[in-house]
Amino acid sequence: MNFSPAQPDGLPGSRGEIIVSPPSPALECRVARLTAAGATLVVPAGAVVPDALTLAIAGEFVMRRCRVTWRRPGRVGVTFEMPV
């Protein structure tokens, strides 16, 4: 997936990676909304996102442990286990 600062849907976003476990490859995503408590992630169509994950955001040096709180086609909402 190639992400630019503004996507056709009009949402700005940072590139991110969903990390599940070391042997599994990371899943690219776009961070459409980021707050201290959580984020909205845009994911590839048909992507399987687990209930618990680690989120790495491009340009940041922290990885956040997350729980999925809602799901919609192509999007998931996550809550950070420890707010930033």
Each of the 84 residues of the chain gets a pLDDT tens digit; together they read 444 444 444 456 799 999 988 788 999 999 999 999 999 999 999 999 999 999 999 988 889 999 999 999 999 999 999 754
pTM: 0.81
Left, alpha or beta for 64 (phi > 0: left; psi -120 to 50: alpha)?
beta
User: Which of 61, 16, 9 minimizes the C-alpha distance to 34?
Assistant: 16
